[in-house]
């Protein structure tokens, strides 16, 4: 264990620099191979899966903390984030999983430890370009990996409910905030974009109506035809002509 990792673990264990009782949980969405994916963590020696999350420094803005948490797991900066819900039910703060995690990582504790108290969690969802993400676990995790949304494992605490709530918020925001584009690579076809919308909404869309709607927004720049072996059948490639 390096000195930096040891210092990081001791900082979390002591909790002196953090606001107690308040946390951030992030649902990080990516899109790849026609699947909507979620980035999940697995704690060492416990088999427990969790959403990426973290705490807020006492002298840190909330949104800055959320950007930091997501950046630490993806390796990206300037990530699209939406705060979508505050999870504060009394029953969500079961200390048993955290006790198992602390024991597995050699963190001394008793029932009064700050990590074992009730936490209110602020939920954010993040939209990232899957191809640019480098999943990054830290010292207390065995893994940080993408999982297809329909097949995510059982998560600790109420994190499965947090994922469902985030998906509902994403669907509600899809049109009025034009946020789906944050999941796309720099160049794409309208067909690719329609598949993304259909995957998020879990329903089929009429191709002519969808393309008319998207092109009428005036935010796309047509750049080339995508080579598919037959020029007359090749779809156009697009990119965004203005920042969203």
- CATH number for the domain spanning 134: value is 3.90.79.10
Instruction: Please report whether residue 153 resides in a domain.
Output: yes
Token output for 111: 């029932």
Instruction: Please report whether residue 181 resides in a domain.
Output: no
How would you class 71 by CB atoms within 10 Å of its CB: exposed for 0-12, middle for 13-18, buried for 19 or more? middle
The verdict on 54 and 161 lying in the same domain is yes
Average pLDDT (136-151) is 89
The verdict on 164 and 234 lying in the same domain is no
The verdict on 203 and 101 lying in the same domain is no
Instruction: Please report whether residue 18 resides in a domain.
Output: yes
CA distances from 108 to 6, 128, 156, 202 (A): 14, 36, 21, 46
The verdict on 157 and 212 lying in the same domain is no
Average pLDDT (211-229) is 84
Q: Is the pLDDT of residue 232 over 70?
A: no
- Full-model pTM: 0.90
The verdict on 91 and 127 lying in the same domain is yes
Split into its structural domains, the chain has a count of 2
The verdict on 208 and 110 lying in the same domain is no
Instruction: Please report whether residue 179 resides in a domain.
Output: no
Q: Which of 173, 195, 226 is the endpoint of a domain?
A: 173
Q: Domain range holding 212?
A: 186-240
Q: Provide the angle, in degrees to the nearest 10, between the axes of the packed helices 190-201 and 207-215.
A: 110
Q: What is the pLDDT of residues 103-118, one digit of tens each?
A: 988 888 889 999 999 9
The verdict on 82 and 146 lying in the same domain is yes
């Amino acid at each position: 264990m390096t000195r930096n990792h040891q210092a990081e673990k001791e900082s979390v264990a002591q909790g002196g620099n953090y606001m107690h009782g308040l946390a951030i949980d992030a649902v990080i969405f990516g899109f790849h191979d026609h699947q909507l994916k979620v980035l999940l963590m697995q704690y060492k020696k416990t088999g427990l899966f969790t959403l990426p999350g973290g705490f807020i420094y006492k002298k840190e803005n909330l949104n800055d903390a959320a950007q930091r948490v997501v950046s630490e797991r993806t390796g990206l900066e300037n990530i699209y984030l939406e705060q979508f819900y505050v999870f504060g039910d009394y029953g969500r703060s079961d200390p048993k999983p955290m006790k198992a995690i602390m024991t597995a990582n050699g963190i001394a504790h008793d029932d009064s430890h700050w990590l074992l108290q009730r936490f209110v969690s602020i939920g954010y969802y993040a939209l990232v370009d899957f191809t640019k993400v480098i999943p990054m676990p830290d010292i207390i995790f065995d893994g940080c990996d993408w999982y297809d949304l329909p097949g995510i494992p059982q998560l600790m605490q109420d994190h499965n409910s947090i994922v469902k709530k985030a998906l509902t918020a994403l669907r509600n925001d899809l049109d009025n905030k034009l946020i789906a584009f944050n999941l796309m690579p720099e160049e794409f076809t309208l067909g690719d974009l329609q598949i993304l919308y259909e995957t998020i909404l879990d329903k089929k869309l009429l191709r002519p109506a969808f393309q008319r709607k998207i092109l009428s927004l005036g935010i796309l720049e047509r750049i080339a035809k995508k080579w598919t072996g037959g020029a007359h059948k090749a779809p156009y490639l697009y990119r965004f002509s203005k920042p969203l």
